[in-house]
């Protein structure tokens, strides 16, 4: 009887630990999955892999840029054109110091602020170029996977960059 009671107490304690510990919470798992989507999105640029980059974006993507509507096909075309133009004059793109802040997860929706640095070799000048970028991202969980549904520049007066 004492062994059974001790076992039940142990089970209850473990259940409480899993429920109250953020490391075991569903929200923490979601935040890790979201971080992976963001890193994959940036890796798609660095590896010039449009298909991999677009796997991170929802087919339901919709965003306004300077009053112009961007759906999935338009963002895919814009990303493809950007990658081609960027890599005509750059090589060896690297992202680092990737920071996700203000992450809010509510059910199957999430928003976050993304800040990262990039550096690439300019083939025309043989010099490295680098900059910091800030973006607002909206995400949605679709069929169990987090996907980007919106991207907006946070700061204005930015030069173009990956």
Residue ranges covered by each domain of the chain: 23-153
Give yes or no for residue 69 having a pLDDT over 70.
yes
Give pTM, 2 decimals: 0.78
A 10 A CB-CB count for 66 gives: 5
How confident is the model over 2-11, as pLDDT tens digits? Answer: 655 445 454 4
Task: Express each pLDDT in 70-82 by its tens digit.
Answer: 999 999 999 999 9
At a CB cut-off of 8 Å and minimum separation 6, what does 65 contact? 152
Domain 23-153 architecture: Roll (3.10)
Give the integer Cα–Cα distance in Å for 150 and 146: 12
């Amino acid at each position: 009887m004492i062994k059974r009671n001790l076992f039940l107490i142990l089970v209850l304690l473990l259940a409480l630990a899993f429920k109250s510990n953020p490391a075991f919470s569903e929200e923490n798992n979601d935040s890790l999955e979201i971080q992976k989507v963001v890193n994959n999105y940036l890796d798609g640029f660095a590896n010039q892999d449009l298909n991999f980059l677009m796997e991170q974006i929802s087919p339901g993507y919709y965003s306004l840029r300077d009053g112009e509507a961007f759906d999935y096909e338009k963002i895919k075309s814009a990303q493809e054109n950007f990658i081609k133009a960027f890599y005509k004059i750059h090589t060896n793109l690297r992202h680092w110091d990737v920071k996700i802040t203000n992450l809010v997860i509510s059910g199957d929706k999430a928003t976050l602020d993304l800040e990262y640095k990039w550096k690439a070799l300019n083939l025309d000048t043989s010099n490295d170029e680098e900059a910091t970028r800030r973006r607002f991202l909206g995400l949605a969980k679709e069929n169990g996977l987090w996907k980007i549904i919106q991207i907006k520049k946070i700061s204005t007066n930015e030069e173009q960059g990956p």
